[in-house]
C-alpha cells in the first residue's frame, strides 16, 4: 500500500533521527506521510545531529545511531532540487514572511513540490514560524509538538 506524501521541513526530520520530545509524534506521522524534502535538508539535519552531540546531549553511540537513521531516511525521501525558479520563490517568501534564509528555501521547495497549488498538500514542521508561513501559503500544516498526533 502506497502512503501519501507530505513536505517535511528539517525541524520535522530531526525527531526521526534523534530521540526527543517530538519523536513519537514524528514517527506516527511518518507512517502516514512519505517525506518530500528540500535538497539542503540532509545538511541541516546532519548539522543538528552533530551540534547536539557537541553539546553533549547524547553519547557517541547515540550520534552514530542518529546518523544511521538519517542515511536510512534519506534513501526513502524525495528531494526537491535547487533551481533558479526556486531561489526566486524563496526571495519572495522572505519579502512576505519573517523567515530565515534556509526556511524560505524549504517553503519554496514545498511550493515547487505542490506545483504552486498547496491546497490539499500537507506540510510537516517543528518550527512555529515556518509552519505559520506554510499555513498562510495554503498548505495543510501539521506542527510537531509535545502532544500526540
pLDDT single digits (tens) 20-56? 999 999 999 999 999 999 999 999 999 999 999 999 9
* pLDDT for the residue numbered 145: 86
DSSP for 73-118 reads HHHH-EEEPP-HHHHHHHHHHHHHS---HHHHHHHHHHHHHTTT--
* C-beta atoms surrounding 34 within 10 Å: 15
Residue 121 pLDDT exceeds 60: yes
Q: What's the CA angle centered on 92, arms 124 and 112, to 5 degrees?
A: 50
**What domains does the chain contain, in order, with CATH numbers?**
4-143 (3.40.50.1010)
SS3 10: helix
Reported as a single tens digit per residue, the pLDDT across 62-111 is 999 999 999 999 999 999 999 999 999 999 999 999 999 999 999 999 99
Q: In what order do the strands lie in the sheet with 33-38?
A: 78-80, 33-38, 4-8, 122-125, 140-143
pLDDT of residue 105: 98
What is the rounded distance in angstroms from the CA atom of residue 43 to the CA atom of residue 121? 24
Identify which has the larger pLDDT, 110 or 2. 110
Amino acid at each position: 500500500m502506497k502512503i501519501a506524501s507530505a513536505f517535511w521541513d528539517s525541524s520535522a526530520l530531526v525527531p526521526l533521527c534523534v530521540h526527543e520530545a517530538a519523536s513519537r509524534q514524528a514517527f506516527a506521522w511518518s507512517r502516514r506521510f512519505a517525506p518530500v524534502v528540500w535538497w539542503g535538508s540532509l545538511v541541516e539535519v546532519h548539522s543538528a545531529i552533530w551540534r547536539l552531540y557537541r553539546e553533549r546531549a547524547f553519547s557517541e553511540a547515540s550520534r552514530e545511531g542518529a546518523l544511521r537513521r538519517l542515511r536510512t531516511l534519506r534513501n526513502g525521501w524525495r528531494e526537491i532540487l535547487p533551481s533558479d525558479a526556486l531561489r526566486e520563490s524563496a526571495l519572495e517568501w522572505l519579502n512576505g514572511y519573517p523567515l530565515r534564509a534556509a526556511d524560505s528555501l524549504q517553503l519554496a521547495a514545498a511550493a515547487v513540490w505542490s506545483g504552486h497549488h498547496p491546497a490539499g498538500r500537507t506540510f510537516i514542521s517543528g518550527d512555529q514560524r515556518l509552519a505559520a508561513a506554510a499555513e498562510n501559503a495554503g498548505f495543510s500544516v501539521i506542527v510537531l509538538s509535545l502532544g500526540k498526533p
